[in-house]
Structure 1
Amino acid sequence: MPRLHPPPSELHWRSLALLNVFRFLGLIALLTSLTLLVRRSPMSADQWPFFLQLCGAYITMALIFAVGIARRLPVFHVQLGVQVLADVLFIVGIMHLMGGIKSGLGILLLPYLAAAGLIARGRMSLFHAALASIAILLEQTWQWLQLRAALDEFLVPALLCAACFAVAWLAHRLARYAAESERLAEQRGIDLANLAQLNARILQDVSDGVLVVDRHGTIRQCNDQAVRLIGLQPAADATLPAVLPGLDLALAAWRDNPKQLPPLLQAMSRKTLRPRFVRLTASYDLEVLVYLEDMDKLRREAQQLKLAALGRLTANLAHEIRNPLGAISHAGQLLREDCGDSPLQLRLTQIINENAARLERMVRDVLELNRRDRVQMSEIRLPGWLLTFLDEVRQAEEITVTVALVCPDEAVVRFDPGHLHQVLWNLLRNGWRYCSKGPGSLAVMVSERDGRWRLDVLNDGPPVPADAQSQLFEPFFTTESKGTGLGLYIAREICAANAALLEYIPSGEVGACFRIVFGRYDVQKT
């Protein structure tokens, strides 16, 4: 069954409590005026006891109403109806003791009816007016029966009854208007809350770091990307110099000349950032929106565009080079068979074969650039897979020591097996090249952190120089004269295509560690 009345809000109960306070104040004002301000009492001596008894009953009812409001019992509409009835009976009773309608106290009914109509949102306003009108007419009828009023004196009570209905109708209209305004304000509040959530979501999803700075240079808001780029979480009311040195000077220069290009800044995270300022108001001196662009990311994106074009070009060239290169390698082998015992000819044919093999590796690496997009990921159980792989790589690369392996039995990842084979082969070959080639000089360790498996390839050789670590995974960067500089770059791109991350972990003055961080994968249990 539908509810007869919607549940009252806390505002309804507070309004009812204010009406009860008004009831106390009205009674105090009435008693004060009758005892102190009026020179002649409008009541006779024998009427005063009835008046005091009526006031005592009214005060008792008001106290009971206060307890009921505090405990929210009985229900709201019952309490409001009882309180209005008590007000009507009290005022009409006082009016009767003071001579009826001629006393002028009937006008006190109007503010009570108006207040009750506004509190009830107009639902019972006309009913309350009808109660007051009936009480007024009954009192006037009693006065007429007691021969204290003439029959033609019913006009004034009738006008007062009309005033009661007019006030009730006006309260009803005002209550409807207030209810509509309340609903509109509530809807606007919901819209504003949704808009605030949308703005917060957009702010967090922006690829650039975003700071909101007030006129005093204090940070009022920032997104997660700004925290990552800066390298720290700004404290409450943090200033620009404490978060990113030089940003306050760049902001001041921009306010003086908005067309001036801001300088590049170095963050604590060792990232190079370029600030961009956008004013939020018409004035440049008030709140400002600061965008922090990661220049390293922009360089990588520009590099990716160049490499995409270069990859298409080099792939075509590689296919064209491979055919004559095969002919050169074959001719070099035939010359080596026919050179006899001549040292010079043997040396020349060896140079031909070595350089042909080097060109073949370069062509193969260039062609591998386009393989990273063809991914066929599957479930790989690392313990058994790594044992087989390490036996294969030891035989092929002539690794004379045992490669230490630490791998939990439950280690399962999702990766393209061929891609993982290629990446690990490259890492182990490089590790064997630089390690001491003694027992324990090369190791593979698998561990778990934050729900993601990590595979470390460690060697005891010299670490990568600090100045070369930033360029380690860039294409065509190599520290060897015979290297192509594509091995680590291809390995990182293959890992990225398989939702993994390849990174170099500095391990001190001795040793190097390359780590593959696999993507999250929950094993499906059957």
Structure 2
Amino acid sequence: MRATAADGFDATRWVPLRYLNFFRLIIAGFFLVAGLELNLGSDAPKVFNGAALAYVGAVLALGFPDAARRFGIDRLISLQVIIDIVLLTLIMWASGGYRSGMPVLMMVILAGAGLVAQGRMVLFYAALATVAVLAENVWRYFSGGTPGDFLQVGIVCIGFFGIAITAHLLALRARTNESLAVSRGEALATQQAVNERIIRDMQDGVLVLGADGIVRQANPRAAELLGVYQLEGLRLADLDEEFADVHGLCGGPEGSLRRLGPAGKLLRCRALGALDDDANETGHGAGGETLIYLTDFEEIQTHVQQLKLAALGRLTASMAHEIRNPLSAVTQAAELLTEEKRGEVQTRLIRIINDNARRIERMIRDVLALGRREEALPEALPLASFVSSLIDEFALASGAEREIYCADIPHEATFAIDRAHLHQILDNLIGNARRYCSGKPGSVRVFVSAEGIGRIALHVLDDGPGIVESERGRVFEPFFTTHPKGTGLGLYIARELAEANGASLELRDNAPGAHFVLTGRSQP
């Protein structure tokens, strides 16, 4: 509807007018070639041939786009319809009147004009055709016609107006629908562009997975979170085996938290039906496609960790100031008591004082270390030798103690992590496993497993009583402990150090004992 150029040429109206011109050309050529053989122009053959030849010339002269640009499409339509009516009236006069069938062709011309013309010009064309046919019939009446012809001619003239008005109303309806479709199409295109921009720039990864497991569409954030350059056309299960069962992995309204893809980021994965709003419960779309949302939980945890460390920093400052002063007095008093050599009761009290003083000192040291956590310097550490040397430290007492630990780690296995951090993490995990295990040979097991492309998992298990279900969600909370002499910071610090190296520490099911898994990259 907006295709009208400055010179008056309207491309949307030219298309139907072109088909009408093609019809005119066929009719004019038919008159010129076979009109006389079909008994047309019997009353005046020369007039008929002249009119047919003029009709062909008019169609050829006015049937091309340059004529529309020269006259303007509205003037061209009016000129063509007037020529049609005049020449068809001459042919009708030369062929014996309205019985020659020319009024029917006029109806076709008026119907076509009603589709392409605008305003009240359609009524003008119908009126012009009516006047022309009535004038021809009046001339024929005075030349020996009958009054009954006027009834049939009148019915034909009424048909002129009916067909012209009906065609015009249909054209108006079609143009209104076309204009509505164009406006809605523009609104839809704008909305689609906005949606694409939102999806492209949103912080969550979004991808559409086909029923065959191949990614149909994905925004750049999804590829970034999974650690690949492009996702379209890839089989998702080839990136990470966890995606082999997408609906088991990402099912449910809350989804699940996993480390996925070559990047190994901690992601929240949710799967919904992409094509059916009622498929949210099953995750299946109407076309077998699945819409997957990936949320970077590491950023969320980092923000939470920053808030936590800020509060913890204030706590450490207050603890260091409030505890160390009385701690010095306690330790000094304990030393003075040992010099006086009093009775057994005093010796027992001294031991209690020293034990609690050391416990307070250890707690302060752990909290201060947590508050000023140093930047990690990861390197590819050979796990077999590292774990073996750490176990040797635990088994210095006797050879029997060494048999409690069972390490099954390939010599080529490496873990990308800071050396001091790994030592502190494993010291806590293996120490806890030794504390709660049965003490039988092989009751503490350490082994590794592959966790996708470029990732490795270090497992520490024991055969002890395990962790009760009510306490499993709190094992990594600061200051939570079930050991009477523990500070409750060991596992919490171990997980913080793991995350500082881009790794994760989690507790898995392993009835009846405990099963901790440290997962990270095999290379820096």
TM-score, reference length from structure 1: 0.56
Render the CA deviation track for 1:464-500: whole Å, top value 9, x for unaligned.
Answer: x96226998x9x9999xxxxx99x99xx9xxxxxxxx
Map 1:300-319 → 2, pairs under 5 A: 301-302=300-301, 304-305=303-304, 308-309=307-308, 311-312=310-311, 315-316=314-315, 318-319=317-318
Are the equivalent residues in 1 in contact too, given 2:68–2:76 (CA < 8 A)?
no
RMSD: 5.1
**In 2, Cα distance between the equivalents of 1:225 and 1:185?**
34
TM-score (norm 2): 0.56
Distance 1:235 1:132 in 2: 67
Which residue, out of 158, 170, 176, partners 1:162? 158
Q: CA deviation at 1:34?
A: 3.8
Task: Write the distance in 1 (CA, Å) between the matches of 2:196 and 2:419.
Answer: 34
**3-state DSSP of counterpart to 2:64:** helix
Q: Which residue of 1 aligns with 2:453?
A: none
3-state DSSP of counterpart to 2:216 = strand
Indicate the residue corresponding to 2:417 in structure 1: 468
Could you tell me which residue of structure 2 aligns to residue 22 of structure 1?
23
Q: CA deviation at 1:20?
A: 0.6
- 1:501-523 CA distance string (max 9 Å, x none): xxxxxxx99xxxxxxxxxxxxxx
Q: What one-letter code is carried by the residue in structure 2 that aligns with 1:21?
A: F
CA contact (8 A) 1:118 1:172 kept: yes
Offset, 1:250 = 1.9
Q: Residues 124 and 245 from structure 1, CA distance in 2 versus in 1: closer, same or farther, beyond 3 angstroms?
A: farther
Query: Matched residues in 1 for 2:94 and 2:20: separation?
Result: 25
Distance 2:371 2:418 in 1: 25
One of 105, 121, 129 as aligned partner of 1:108: 105
Distance across 1 between alignment mates of 2:134 and 2:237: 80
* Cα deviation, residue 123, structure 1: 4.8
> Deviations for 1:419-454, whole angstroms, at most 9, x for unmatched residues?
xxxxxxx99xx9xxxxxxxxxxxxxxxxxxxxxxxx
Structure 1 residue aligned with 2:117: 120
Residue among 239, 248, 270 paired with 1:276: 270
Pick from 164, 170, 185: which aligns with 1:174? 170
The answer to whether residue 87 in structure 2 is matched with residue 84 in structure 1 is: no
Aligned AA (1:74)? F
**3-state SS of paired residue (1:73):** helix
The Cα shift of 1:198 comes to 3.4
Separation in 2, partners of 1:365, 1:254:
37
- In structure 1, the gaps of 5 or more residues are 334-355, 370-425, 431-464, 480-484, 493-507, 510-526
- The amino acid that maps onto 1:318 is A
- Partner residue in 2 for 1:54: 51
Amino acid at match of 1:98: S
Instruction: State percent identity of aligned pairs.
Output: 25
Kept in 2: contact 1:231–1:268 (CA 8 A): yes
Give secondary structure in 2 for the equivalent of 1:176: helix
Identify which of 237, 241, 251 aligns with 1:246.
241
Distance 1:182 1:41, change over 3 A: closer
* Contact 2:268–2:297 (8 Å) recurs in 1: no
Structure 1 equivalent of residue 200 of structure 2:
204
Output aligned runs, 1:94-493, within 5 Å: 94-145=91-142, 147-150=143-146, 153-234=149-230, 237-241=233-237, 244-246=239-241, 249-251=244-246, 264=258, 266-271=260-265, 273=267, 275-279=269-273, 280-281=275-276, 286-293=287-294, 297-299=296-298, 301-302=300-301, 304-305=303-304, 308-309=307-308, 311-312=310-311, 315-316=314-315, 318-323=317-322, 325=324, 467-468=416-417
| Contact 1:42 1:98 (C-alpha < 8 Å) held by counterparts | yes
Q: Which amino acid aligns with 1:467?
A: A
Contact 2:9 2:69 survives alignment (8 Å): no
- Tell me which of the two structures has the higher relative contact order, counting C-alpha pairs closer than 8 angstroms and 6 or more residues apart: 2
Letter in 1 for 2:416: D
Conservation of the 8 A alpha-carbon contact between 1:264 and 1:272: yes
CA 1:315/1:273 → structure 2, altered by over 3 Å: closer, same or farther? closer
1:263-319 deviation digits (Å, cap 9, x = unpaired): 95642334355643212235557342342535xx42553464366356436624632
Distance 1:471 1:64 in 2: 93
Q: Distance in 2 between matches of 1:78 and 1:118?
A: 15
8 Å Cα contact 1:219/1:237 also seen in 2: yes
CA 1:122 to 1:29, structure 2 compared with 1: closer, same or farther past 3 Å?
farther
Which whole-Å CA distance do the structure 2 matches of 1:5 and 1:70 have between them? 14
Kept after mapping to 1: 8 A contact 2:222/2:294: no
Q: What is the distance in 2 between the residues matched to 1:254 and 1:170?
A: 62
Q: Which residue identity does 1:49 align to in structure 2?
A: K
Shift of residue 84, structure 1, vs aligned partner: 0.8
- Match of 1:105, as an amino acid? M
Alpha-carbon distance between aligned partners in 1 of 2:294 and 2:202, rounded to the nearest angstrom: 11
Q: Residues 205 and 225 of structure 2 are in contact (CA less than 8 Å); yes or no, is this contact kept in structure 1? A: yes
